Structure 1
Amino acid sequence: MSSQSITALEEVVVRNKVDFSKILKKIKSKLNEKSDTVGVYYNLKMNLLQDEKTLIDIDDTLQLKMKSMGCLSKLGFSKKYANKMESLIAEKFNTFKYRDSPLHWIAEFPLRKNLNVSKLDFLNNLKEYRYELVDENSMENGLVFVSDSLYSGKMVYNKQSKELVSIIYENVTPYRFYNIVAVNARKYDVEQSNWKYLKEKVILKFSNKNPNVIETLSIEETIDNFNSKQFNKKGEVEFSLLNDYKSIFKLTRLTDSIKG
């Protein structure tokens, strides 16, 4: 056997010995450490489109309050943002009596999902993913992950501390999402929605000074056929809509963390 073949075989053996569950457990443990921040201010750029037409375009300041990288306690939107959203609700979404409207799913849910980093699927649903360790440099490792039906991407983390440096991921195939909201616990008085995520792409970078602080976050989502229906207590459809949406977010840190 040639020396090159032996080297390749040794690399395979070392790779097969990697305990990915232990690595992910340590990464999650770091993410779930209690943060000493009261709030961090970010520039928020957000562009929402409905059927390829702009719904709203926002360039504003957002305050995040995090108990940890798995527990977002508050999205502190400005009064300017709130006023714009109220106007949009009155103009486009006034038929929805409850908070669970398309606007929630395209404007707020993507932020909440990706800011609660330790709850992301590829950090928890290990059986659905294949992992591979990549040596990035002397200080950092890359953990590549891929699923047949969910997400693929890479996490970069500090070799010694297991603190995350960055995450990039996207869905490998379109998938459908279902949401049912019962109103007053009645059998038929409900809202039913379902839609297909055509695209989810996320790039997340952490602060060099404080790994419990997000430096930048970019999100791009494309939703196909957001089909929403409202039923009355007789089971009759009172309202329905069918639209396509696109959401683009960019968060950039403006200030250091404020100590509690």
Structure 2
Amino acid sequence: MMPVKILTVIGIGAVMVRYHQIVNIHFPISYLWSVFTKKPTLFTNNMMKNFALLIIALICPSLFAQNNIIQLEEVTITKSQHNAAKKIIRNVKKRLRNNFNTHEKLYRVNQTAVVNDNDTVINNNMVVMFVIKSLDNNFTKTIIKDDANKLFRSSLFFQGYDDYRDSPEYWISQVLYNKNLNILGFDFFNNTAGYNFKITYDEKFITVSFTSDDMYSGFFICERETFNLQTLSFKNSDAYPFDVSNSDNGKKTGLKKWIYEVESSTIEFRTDESDKICLANVTVLEKISGYFFEKYFSTRQKI
């Protein structure tokens, strides 16, 4: 306790002299002497500790002030970046809604799905015509006949699933299109409160980096003048489970569940001759573990 008491005495003495000079009030020396006694007559131990902290603040105000300023600057910068990012995202989304080319476009699509690191179940290289009405999963796609097309699907792996929309092939292949052509619905474009942002500028472009502990991390680049999106790249910050159970009239008809270990996408854009935004390239990688896909027929036969 002696260090606290000594500091308290020095501090209280300094305060007394300071106030004595200002308001000409006398403080009996017994106040100071009582601090050294085992049973203080005026101050309790807790009071002395509080006074000690108070005196440190009075003697060294610059230390406290500097710390507050640093914290204030950090909070201000973080909030400023977040508000600026929200404004940029708002402009980017507006540009995608109003200036995206909705006419048909031909793309060459390469698609590969591998099970257990060595069993290829899908391997496609094909020309596909996309008509993207809007970047909120509103599109159609048609495979175009081309001599260079190469289409492969494992009949053994996919056998028994007559309904494409409720088959492993749909979830392994088609869902990737649905998720990645829903750009306006991306989580980091809508739930900005859950993300941290960092913004950098150069002469022509703005780069916005975003991070989230439990959702996605990545970046996007847009033009400073028009907010036309150039590049968008992101991946999941952590693995997450997928689990869907299907039923019909209270009867279980199927179960789909697995864990998305990696979900990574890079989308590149360009502008065409009419200055409309188009997709230039889309690269998607997904790795899943714990794959389980089960379906029942009306006879309760299980696939």
TM > 0.5 fold call: yes
Deviations 1:138-196 (CA, angstroms, capped at 9, x unpaired): 111111111111110001111222221101111111111122333xx411142211110
Unaligned runs of 5+ in 2: 1-61, 63-68
Deviations 1:4-28 (CA, angstroms, capped at 9, x unpaired): xx9xx98985553241322222221
Asked if the contact 1:157–1:166 (Cα under 8 Å) also holds between the matched residues in 2, the reply is yes
Task: Indicate how the Cα distance of structure 1 residues 160 and 15 shifts in structure 2: closer, same or farther if over 3 A, else same.
Answer: farther
Query: 5 Å matches for 1:1-260?
Result: 13=76, 16-18=79-81, 19=83, 20-33=85-98, 35-52=100-117, 53-78=119-144, 84=151, 88=154, 90-98=155-163, 99-135=165-201, 137-182=202-247, 185-209=248-272, 210=275, 212-231=277-296, 238-239=301-302
CA deviation after TM superposition for structure 1 residue 204, in Å: 0.9
RMSD of aligned residue pairs (Cα, Å) = 3.0
Asked if the contact 1:204–1:218 (Cα under 8 Å) also holds between the matched residues in 2, the reply is yes
Task: Indicate how the Cα distance of structure 1 residues 162 and 45 shifts in structure 2: closer, same or farther if over 3 A, else same.
Answer: same
Task: Indicate how the Cα distance of structure 1 residues 162 and 129 shifts in structure 2: closer, same or farther if over 3 A, else same.
Answer: same
Alpha-carbon distance in structure 1 between the residues aligned to 2:286 and 2:97: 26
Alpha-carbon distance in structure 2 between the residues aligned to 1:32 and 1:15: 28
Match of 1:251 in 2: none
Asked if the contact 1:42–1:62 (Cα under 8 Å) also holds between the matched residues in 2, the reply is yes
Deviations 1:101-154 (CA, angstroms, capped at 9, x unpaired): 21111111112211221111211122221112122x211111111111111000
Alpha-carbon distance in structure 2 between the residues aligned to 1:125 and 1:96: 37
Alpha-carbon distance in structure 1 between the residues aligned to 2:244 and 2:288: 14
Task: Count residues with an aligned counterpart.
Answer: 229
Asked if the contact 2:101–2:278 (Cα under 8 Å) also holds between the matched residues in 1, the reply is no
Alpha-carbon distance in structure 2 between the residues aligned to 1:154 and 1:109: 23
Asked if the contact 1:170–1:199 (Cα under 8 Å) also holds between the matched residues in 2, the reply is yes
Letter in 2 for 1:120: F
Higher helix share: 2
Higher strand share: 1
Larger radius of gyration: 2
Task: Indicate how the Cα distance of structure 1 residues 138 and 12 shifts in structure 2: closer, same or farther if over 3 A, else same.
Answer: farther
CA deviation after TM superposition for structure 1 residue 95, in Å: 2.4
CA deviation after TM superposition for structure 1 residue 71, in Å: 4.2
Letter in 2 for 1:28: K
Alpha-carbon distance in structure 1 between the residues aligned to 2:256 and 2:281: 31
Unaligned runs of 5+ in 1: 241-260
Alpha-carbon distance in structure 2 between the residues aligned to 1:132 and 1:96: 46
TM-score norm. by structure 1 comes to 0.76
Alpha-carbon distance in structure 2 between the residues aligned to 1:189 and 1:11: 53
